[in-house]
């Protein structure tokens, strides 16, 4: 078992990573189960692929659970689902001392964390991420949210989990497209925090996708170590450090909005295209050598990820995409802070950019 600590002074917690961990989840969760019973939030896909194994592991330790099933995909992160989920938790007599379990991908973790934050003014929760994207990014760091009509993740809270349990073997349950989408967030740590890890991703991409368990475990562990370091340095994104984790996300969220937050473009795919766009935009600003942008694009393409607007199935022009960005949480005075911390070049750039220039850049990409 590898244990990575998130060293937050007010709410430190551990992330446990081990292949096969799910089989022992009953013993691990026993101290968190009031009356040997747990409330679990999951989604339609996980109900099929993982829940039976999870329930059997609980039974083996003499625990039971009740579960709430969200629709799969971004549709699970709506006001309607939040209302249904909180009503369900109250029907189940959730108590403040309970630990609600989020068993699923990023959508499950985000809405469960937000529901835990607001229900009875705050319950604890445990993250058991089942997708690569959730294992390396969204389950760690306490960002919880739902989507609103104005955009993605605009209603939410910082609420740290009590513990994160990661079983790399769960990646075997993922469709290849989901796995590739999560790989975009793995690559991100090579770009923002750990240059040597970018080399690792280039050297080990084929083994990762072929299912090499050691490579997969290392990719997860090094990603989570980066994330834990960054979150501990800037829990609520005040100093700019945590904003590095948003690399490519402002572009990515606009692409997701244009494709209707649907299966047409998964979040990780949008992030891949967004990171490639961010690097190319940085070349245009004169802050990044074209070779670095090409290296990033090449690696993402090797993973089968989109790196252009047309790959992403986006047809909107620059002005329309920039309109989505106007709602971004980071907007300030009509400009966006443009951050590109390049693990591969060990330089850090920060520049406020005018949205008109971003729109012109996006039009030049078509």
CB of 93 to ligand GLY, least distance (A): 32
Nearer to ligand GLY, 33 or 276 (CB): 276
Specify whether 327 is catalytic.
no
Distance (Å, rounded) from C-alpha 10 to C-alpha 19? 30
Q: Which is nearer to ligand GLY, 137 or 328 (CB)?
A: 137
What is the Cα–Cα distance from 16 to 121, expressed in whole angstroms?
A: 27
Residue 267 annotated to the active site: yes
List the interface residues with ligand GLY, window 108-137 (CB under 6 A). 137
- Residue 141 contacts ligand GLY per CB under 6 A: yes
| CB-nearer residue toward ligand GLY: 141 or 345 | 141
DSSP for 1-38, please give it.
-EEEEE--SSS-EEEEE-TTGGGGHHHHHGGG-GGGEE
Tokens of 78: 């709506």
Strands 151-158 and 163-166 come out as: unpaired
Stretch that binds ligand GLY, among 2-10, 34-42, 242-250, 271-279 (CB under 6 A): 242-250
- Residue (26 or 141) nearer to ligand GLY, CB: 141
CB neighbours of residue 116 within 10 Å: 29
Name the minimum Å distance from CB 116 to ligand GLY: 17
Residue in 77, 99, 117, 143 binding ligand GLY, rule: CB under 6 A: 143
The neighbouring-strand residues paired with 66 are 39
SS3 143: strand
- CA-based end-to-end distance of the chain: 47
Answer whether 174's CB lies under 8 Å from 131's CB. Answer: yes
Of these residues, 249, 256, 280, 342, which one is catalytic? Answer: 249
Q: Is the separation of the CB atoms in 123 and 110 below 8 Å?
A: no
330 among known catalytic residues = no
Alpha carbon separation from 320 to 123, 147, 323, 328 (Å, rounded) = 40, 19, 5, 14
Active-site residue, 242 included:
yes
**How far apart are CB 230 and ligand GLY at their closest, in Å?**
8
Residue 37 a catalytic site member: no
Q: Is 253 in the site for ligand GLY (CB under 6 A)?
A: no
On the 0-12 / 13-18 / 19+ scale of CB atoms within 10 A, 308 is: middle
State the catalytic residue, choosing from 159, 253, 280, 342. Answer: 253
Which tokens belong to 316?
């909107």
CB of 142 to ligand GLY, least distance (A): 8
- 8 Å CB contact between 44 and 76: no
Distance CA 185, CA 267 (A): 10
Q: Which is nearer to ligand GLY, 245 or 278 (CB)?
A: 245
By beta carbon distance, the residue nearest ligand GLY is 245
x/- letters, 199..228, toward ligand GLY (CB under 6 A): ------------------------------
Residue 302 three-state SS = helix
Locus of tokens 């240059």: 195
Q: Is 121 a catalytic residue?
A: yes
The verdict on whether 143 is a catalytic residue reads yes
Q: Judged by CB under 6 A, which of 58, 186, 224, 245 binds ligand GLY?
A: 245
CB 126 within 8 A of CB 162: yes
Q: Which of residues 179-198 bind ligand GLY (CB under 6 A)?
A: none
**Identified binder of ligand GLY from the candidate list 242, 267, 280, 342, rule CB under 6 A:** 242
Min. distance of Cβ 154 from ligand GLY in angstroms?
A: 14
Residues assigned a catalytic role: 121, 143, 185, 227, 237, 242, 246, 249, 253, 267
Residues that bind ligand GLY (CB under 6 A): 137-138, 141, 143, 242, 245-246
């Amino acid at each position: 078992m590898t244990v990575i600590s998130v060293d937050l002074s007010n709410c430190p917690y551990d992330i446990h990573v081990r292949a096969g961990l799910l089989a022992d989840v009953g013993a691990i969760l026993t101290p968190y189960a009031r009356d040997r019973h747990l409330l679990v939030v999951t989604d339609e896909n996980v109900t099929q692929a993982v829940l039976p194994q999870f329930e059997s592991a609980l039974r083996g330790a003499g625990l039971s659970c009740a579960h709430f099933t969200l629709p799969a995909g971004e549709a699970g992160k709506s006001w309607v689902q939040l209302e249904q989920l909180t009503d369900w938790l109250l029907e189940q007599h959730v108590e403040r001392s309970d630990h609600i379990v989020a068993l699923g991908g990023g959508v499950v973790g985000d809405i469960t964390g937000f529901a835990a934050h607001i229900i009875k003014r705050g319950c604890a929760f445990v993250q058991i991420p089942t997708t690569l994207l959730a294992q390396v990014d969204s389950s760690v760091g306490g960002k919880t949210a739902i989507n609103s009509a104005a955009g993605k993740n605009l209603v939410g809270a910082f609420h740290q989990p009590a513990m994160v349990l990661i079983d790399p073997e769960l990646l075997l349950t993922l469709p290849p497209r989901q796995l590739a989408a999560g790989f975009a967030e793995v690559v991100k740590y090579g770009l923002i925090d750990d240059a040597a890890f970018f080399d690792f991703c280039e050297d080990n991409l084929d083994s990762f996708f072929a299912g090499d368990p050691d490579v997969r475990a290392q990719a997860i562990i090094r990603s989570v170590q980066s994330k834990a370091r960054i979150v501990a340095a800037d829990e609520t994104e005040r100093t700019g450090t945590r904003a590095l984790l948003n690399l490519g996300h402002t572009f990515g969220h606009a692409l997701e909005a244009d494709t209707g937050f649907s299966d047409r473009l998964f979040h990780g795919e949008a992030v891949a295209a967004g990171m490639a766009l961010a690097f190319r935009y940085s070349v245009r600003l004169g802050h990044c050598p074209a070779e670095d942008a090409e290296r990033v694009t090449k690696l993402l393409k090797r993973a089968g990820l989109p790196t252009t607007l047309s790959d992403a199935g986006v047809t909107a022009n620059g002005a329309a995409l920039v309109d989505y960005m106007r709602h971004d949480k980071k907007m300030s005075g009509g400009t966006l802070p443009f951050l590109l911390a390049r693990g591969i070049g060990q330089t850090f750039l920060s520049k406020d950019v005018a949205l008109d220039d971003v729109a012109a850049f996006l039009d030049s990409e078509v």
